[in-house]
């Protein structure tokens, strides 16, 4: 999928569904570098066992940021967690109720 000679990682039928739903032939997503820390934090926030550590991780991973950049980062993180695709994956019943 990414130009290599390896076979597809998923069955062709599932890859077609991914293409139709997301407009790309592969489920893998390359994150922009500025979203790497946000993705790491989302992982902590979505896992009940790691959630208590999230505030400390935010403090550690954003300490180099200016206050305005830190605020924008937190807002970007919140938008990611509120995204309709994330909601659908985590809470399918809620997503159906919202339409």
User: Strands, DSSP E only, in the chain?
Assistant: none
Task: Give the pLDDT of residue 4.
Answer: 64
**Beta-carbon contacts of residue 26 (< 8 Å; ≥ 6 apart):** 1, 2, 9, 15, 18
What pLDDT, on a 0 to 100 scale, did the predictor assign at position 56?
Answer: 93
Residue 1 has a pLDDT of 47
In Å, what is the CA distance from 95 to each residue of 40, 47, 76? 24, 19, 21
pLDDT for the residue numbered 48: 87
pLDDT score at 3: 57
Distance CA 91, CA 89 (A): 6
Widest pairwise Cα distance in the chain: 46
Distance CA(32)–CA(19), nearest Å, equals 21
Instruction: Bin 39: left if φ > 0, else alpha if -120 < ψ < 50, else beta.
Output: alpha
**By the 8 A CB rule, do 43 and 31 touch?**
no
Q: How far apart are CA 45 and CA 56, in angstroms?
A: 12
Q: What is the mean pLDDT of each run of 10 residues along the chain (99 residues)?
A: 69 88 79 76 86 90 91 87 81 74
Structural domain boundaries of the chain? 33-98
């Amino acid at each position: 999928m990414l130009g290599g000679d390896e076979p597809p990682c998923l069955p062709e039928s599932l890859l077609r569904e991914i293409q139709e739903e997301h407009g790309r032939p592969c489920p893998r997503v390359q994150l922009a570098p500025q979203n790497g820390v946000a993705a790491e934090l989302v992982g902590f926030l979505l896992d009940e066992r790691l959630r208590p550590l999230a505030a400390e991780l935010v403090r550690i991973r954003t300490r180099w940021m200016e206050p305005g950049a830190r605020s924008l980062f937190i807002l970007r993180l919140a938008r990611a967690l509120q995204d309709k695709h994330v909601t659908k994956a985590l809470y399918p019943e809620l997503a159906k109720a919202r339409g």
